[in-house]
């Protein structure tokens, strides 16, 4: 009685802003995110230093992405190689934005009938703190066939639903469920296990020994992977789709583990009671089977589940109510944070966040 429940968290910029997500992840986990360099162009010196970095990256060869660190829907996103440095330099000199990042472009993505795609999965964070990943994930398509011939054509390179609708609304291929992809992708590659990749990290990075009593206190027993419920491959669409989904689960765990174990967790993601939030996790698979986390979006648009999959969007909403709203309002007798609910599977939980928010 009298309970207030918010459908957003007060502070989560370290998750949903591209630059801050990279900064959150990089100190502990590199393998699940493309190589990324973040800069704040607060003055001309910082701008020149960043331009020198872009020149260095371009001399390594290949294609890179320049993204505004606080944008969405592919706003201020540009592909470049060494032939486009003059354009990029002019853009940075005249843009009022200060937050930017340069990220390695995935040049050899897995394709569906020649089109680039990314996977959108639904993540639900509840209270302080349990995090779920829904089993229904969907592949969203770019609206023109993939090629590196024109780096300026976002209809080729951006698979964001809103961008595709705007740039080529009549040419968007139908979305597909993750469970269908193995039939649509020519020769699906074996999926790489993130935990097996060699990277500059310790497994469970938050548990390594650190200096400072507060950091040690934060590490003790916090953020460990829960005993993930065994899910049969058939429930996720078969062995290949299940392998992809399990890498999405691993990436989700890494995001929230990194946020909780950052130097200033209250400024990255402040989990508070009587709050919950849905996020849209975007990931991409390259042709070698490696799954990359691209970003985490607030306010995910369920419109991406088109008419054919509208019933799945309704299922996600229903499961969200069961997992986040009903336990607080008394609609479910067992509100235990250690169980899966509907299509949501528990990925991360943390029972000791109160101690993170004492005055510094």
189-211 pLDDT per residue, tens: 999 998 887 544 444 444 343 33
Q: Which of left, alpha, beta for 198 (phi over 0: left; psi -120 to 50: alpha)? A: beta
Enumerate the β-bridge partners of residue 340.
Answer: none
Q: What is the pLDDT confidence band of residue 354, given thresholds at 50, 70 and 90?
A: very low
281 closest CA partner among 136, 121, 131: 121
| Average pLDDT of the chain, as a whole number | 84
Does the structure show a pLDDT above 90 at 122?
yes
Percent of the chain with pLDDT over 90: 56
Give me the pLDDT at residue 72, please: 65
- Alpha carbon separation from 13 to 49, 51, 358 (Å, rounded): 25, 26, 20
Q: What is the pLDDT confidence band of residue 336, given thresholds at 50, 70 and 90?
A: very low
Cα Rg, the chain, nearest whole Å:
20
More confident residue, 169 or 87: 87
Does the structure show a pLDDT above 90 at 115?
yes
> What is 118-159 written as a DSSP string?
EEEEEEEEETTTEEEEEEEEEEEE-SS---SS-TT-HHHH--
18-74 pLDDT per residue, tens: 888 888 877 777 788 899 999 999 999 999 999 999 999 999 999 999 999 877 666
Give me the pLDDT at residue 338, please: 52
More confident residue, 184 or 360: 184
143-166 pLDDT per residue, tens: 999 999 999 999 999 998 777 777
Answer yes or no: are the C-beta atoms of 323 and 124 closer than 8 Å: yes
Q: What is the pLDDT confidence band of residue 355, given thresholds at 50, 70 and 90?
A: very low
Give me the pLDDT at residue 214, please: 36
- Counting every residue written for the chain, the total comes to 360
**Minimum mean pLDDT among 7-21, 84-98, 176-190, 331-345: which range?**
331-345
Q: Average pLDDT of 124-153?
A: 94
Give me the pLDDT at residue 31, please: 83
Does the structure show a pLDDT above 80 at 96?
yes
For tokens 């007060």, the residue is: 10
More confident residue, 353 or 151: 151
Query: Helix or strand or coil: residue 18?
Result: helix
229-244 pLDDT per residue, tens: 888 999 999 999 999 9
Q: What is the pLDDT confidence band of residue 247, given thresholds at 50, 70 and 90?
A: very high
304-328 pLDDT per residue, tens: 888 889 999 999 999 999 999 887 7
């Amino acid at each position: 009685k009298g309970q207030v429940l918010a459908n957003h968290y007060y502070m989560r910029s370290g998750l949903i802003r591209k630059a801050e997500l990279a900064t959150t992840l990089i100190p502990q986990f590199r393998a699940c995110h493309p190589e990324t360099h973040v800069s704040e162009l607060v003055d001309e010196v910082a701008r020149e230093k960043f331009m020198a970095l872009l020149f260095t990256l371009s001399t390594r060869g290949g294609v890179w992405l320049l993204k505004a660190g606080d944008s969405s829907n592919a706003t201020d996103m540009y592909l470049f190689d060494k032939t486009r440095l003059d354009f990029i330099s002019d853009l940075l000199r005249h843009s009022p934005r200060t937050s930017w990042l340069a990220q390695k472009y995935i040049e050899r993505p897995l394709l569906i009938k020649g089109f680039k795609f990314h996977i959108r999965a639904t993540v639900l964070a509840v209270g302080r703190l349990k995090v779920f990943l829904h089993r229904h994930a969907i592949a969203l398509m770019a609206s023109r066939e993939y090629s590196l011939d024109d780096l300026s054509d976002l209809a080729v390179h951006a698979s964001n639903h809103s961008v595709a609708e705007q740039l080529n609304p009549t040419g968007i291929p139908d979305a597909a469920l993750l469970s269908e992809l193995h039939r649509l992708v020519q020769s699906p590659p074996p999926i790489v296990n993130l935990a097996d990749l060699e990277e500059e990290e310790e497994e469970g990075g938050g548990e390594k020994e650190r200096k400072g009593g507060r950091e040690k206190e934060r590490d003790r027993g916090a953020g460990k992977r829960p005993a993930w419920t065994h899910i049969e491959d058939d429930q996720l669409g078969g062995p290949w789709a299940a392998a992809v989904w399990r890498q999405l689960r691993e990436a989700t765990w890494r995001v929230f583990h990194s946020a909780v174990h950052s130097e200033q967790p209250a400024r990255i993601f402040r989990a508070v009671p009587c709050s919950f939030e849905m996020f849209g996790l975007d990931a991409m698979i390259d042709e070698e089977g490696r799954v990359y986390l691209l970003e985490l979006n607030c306010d995910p648009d369920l419109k991406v589940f088109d008419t054919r999959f509208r019933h799945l969007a309704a299922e996600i909403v229903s499961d969200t109510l069961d997992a986040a709203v009903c336990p607080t309002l008394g609609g479910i007798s067992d509100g235990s944070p250690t169980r899966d609910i509907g299509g949501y599977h528990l990925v991360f939980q943390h029972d000791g966040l109160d101690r993170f928010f004492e005055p510094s």
